[in-house]
């Protein structure tokens, strides 16, 4: 491949992305701590100096105290939940991104907890593989990856469940594994392959990586994305590290990279979690590099930017529709242009007749209930642009256009 064929990443563009993470690093409430941001930054070409070190320090305090049952959170009413399997996995990735290996009594307990989480999920999937993990195969893959980069061995049967899911994708209940999910599984398998932690499964692992690579290539859109714009960073993290590049793969990756850079330029990456999955790619790195991270690599210091307030905007109208409740809700809501969908929901609630609830996640506010109706097991409130286009962003980032109709639909997954 000729060097001049590879689209150059504009360093200013990367810096602007990094700058969007800085406010998050100052947001130290337990509910908003996000180990993914730390991982993304450490695998990028950027650094946040003392801020970054302090952020890891707070991450450690918070995760260790809530996971190891210490009393740090007792008086903190907005954060009673323990981190989930995936969050614990991301925390272990964050430690590794700082070139630390989990060890000692505390470290062993964290590792045991993650192993226990995976064992429970293995049980939920069941002997016949007919069940579903309580969380998701995405988190299952993340858990395996995190233990792998710390060189912690898992039972073959735990790895076997993910291998089965990838091999028999079409037989699974919902039939559909997203590109994000298979890419995460691929990153976990690539780590296992490099580290040779499950030698009995060696051949199956190599075959699964090959299989995943094919699935992702097949999912490439005419624009060049693997799946959609937001699954492309993880897909590229995996494909870039391919041991057998080949011409087809090289061309597909170049196309994906070009599409991704164009969408970055268009401002598609506003979400901190998404930026944290993208920054490593723009630095030629992937989560698998956490097997032996380079903590001495020079990185450019980020400087915070002062946001200038935007001038008052014209007013637009957005139709908000909830057909899956009775009586169905529909109303036209006026908001300033550039408002997020969350602003529309807030306004609708203020006008009365509409109600909603959210839960904070690493991706931002997740819509959990609408008109008092909570999404149940394996259900979620799907966001769509009428008539039938699922949104690719959450309520905090999506900005509806004038005259658009947004539907909130109770869907299963």
- Residue among 136, 198, 263, 276 that touches ligand B12 (CB under 6 A): 136
Stretch that binds ligand B12, among 1-9, 91-99, 348-356, 364-372 (CB under 6 A): 364-372
Which of these, 149, 164, 72, 165, lies nearest to 114 by C-alpha position?
A: 149
Q: At what angle do helices 137-149 and 156-167 cross, to 10 degrees?
A: 140
Decide: is 324 part of the binding site for ligand B12 (CB under 6 A).
no
Q: Which residue has the tokens 């008092």?
A: 372
Give the residue, chosen from 66, 139, 220, 399, that forms a contact with ligand B12 under the rule CB under 6 A. Answer: 139
DSSP β-ladder status, 389-390 and 379-385: antiparallel
Classify strands 300-301 and 46-47 as parallel, antiparallel or unpaired: parallel
> Which whole-number Å values give the CA distances from 387 to 97, 237, 266, in the listed order?
43, 34, 25
Of the candidates 210, 382, 404, 405, which one interacts with ligand B12 according to CB under 6 A?
A: 382
**66 near ligand B12, rule: CB under 6 A:** no
- How many residues are recorded in the chain? 413
157 binds ligand B12 (CB under 6 A): no
Does 181 sit near ligand B12 (CB under 6 A)? yes
Angle at 111 between CA 143 and CA 45, to 5 degrees: 60
Q: Does 393 bind ligand B12 (CB under 6 A)?
A: yes
319 burial level (CB within 10 Å; 0-12, 13-18, 19+):
middle
Which of 24, 38, 91, 138 forms a contact with ligand B12 (CB under 6 A)?
A: 138
- Token output for 255: 């196309």
CB of 47 or CB of 363, closer to ligand B12: 363
> Binding segment for ligand B12 among 45-53, 158-166, 291-299, 360-368 (CB under 6 A)?
360-368
Cα distance between the two ends of the chain? 41
- In the bound state with ligand B12, the residue whose beta carbon lies nearer, of 139 and 198, is 139
Minimum CB separation of residue 247 from ligand B12 in Å reads 27
The sign of the torsion formed by the CA atoms of 100, 149, 289, 134 equals: negative
**What is the smallest separation between the CB atom of 408 and ligand B12, expressed in angstroms?**
8
Question: Which positions from 232 through 251 interact with ligand B12, judged by CB under 6 A?
Answer: 234
Which residue, 55 or 137, has its beta carbon nearer to ligand B12? 137
Q: Which residues bind ligand B12 (CB under 6 A)?
A: 84, 86-87, 90, 135-136, 138-139, 178, 180-181, 227-228, 230-231, 234, 271, 274, 277, 361-367, 380-383, 390-395, 397, 413
């Amino acid at each position: 491949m000729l060097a001049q064929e590879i689209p150059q990443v504009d360093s200013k563009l990367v810096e602007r992305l990094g700058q969007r993470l800085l406010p998050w690093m100052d947001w130290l409430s337990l509910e908003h701590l996000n180990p993914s941001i730390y991982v993304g930054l450490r695998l990028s070409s950027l650094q946040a100096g003392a801020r970054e070190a302090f952020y890891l320090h707070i991450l450690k305090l918070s995760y260790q105290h809530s996971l190891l049952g210490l009393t740090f959170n007792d008086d903190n009413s907005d954060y009673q939940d323990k981190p989930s399997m995936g969050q614990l996995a991301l925390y272990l990735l964050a430690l590794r991104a700082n070139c630390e290996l989990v060890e000692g009594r505390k470290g062993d307990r964290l590792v045991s907890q993650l192993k226990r989480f995976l064992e429970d999920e293995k049980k939920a999937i069941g002997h016949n593989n007919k069940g579903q993990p309580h969380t998701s195969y995405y988190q299952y893959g993340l858990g395996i990856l995190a233990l792998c980069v710390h060189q912690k061995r898992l039972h073959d049967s735990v790895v076997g469940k993910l291998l089965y899911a990838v091999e028999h994708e079409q037989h699974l209940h919902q039939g559909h594994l997203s590109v994000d999910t298979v890419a995460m599984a691929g990153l976990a398998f690539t780590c296992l392959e490099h580290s040779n932690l499950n030698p009995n499964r060696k051949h199956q692992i190599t075959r699964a990586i090959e299989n995943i690579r094919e699935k992702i290539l097949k999912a490439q859109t005419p624009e060049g994305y693997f799946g959609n714009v937001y699954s492309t960073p993880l897909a590229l993290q995996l494909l870039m590290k391919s041991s057998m590049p080949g011409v087809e793969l090289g061309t597909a990756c170049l196309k994906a990279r070009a599409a991704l850079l164009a969408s970055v330029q268009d401002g598609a990456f506003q979400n901190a979690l998404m930026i944290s999955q993208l920054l490593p790619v723009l630095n030629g790195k992937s989560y698998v590099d956490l097997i032996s991270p380079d903590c001495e690599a020079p990185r450019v210091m980020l400087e915070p930017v002062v946001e200038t307030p935007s001038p008052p905007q014209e007013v637009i109208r957005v139709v908000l529709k909830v057909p899956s409740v009775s009586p169905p809700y529909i109303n036209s809501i006026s908001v300033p242009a550039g408002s997020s969908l969350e602003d529309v929901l807030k306004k609708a609630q203020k006008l009365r007749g509409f109600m909603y609830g959210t839960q904070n996640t690493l991706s931002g506010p997740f819509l959990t209930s609408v008109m008092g109706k909570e999404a149940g097991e394996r259900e979620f409130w799907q966001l769509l642009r009428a008539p039938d286009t699922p949104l690719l962003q959450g309520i905090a980032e999506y900005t509806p256009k004038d005259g658009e109709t947004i539907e909130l639909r109770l869907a299963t997954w």
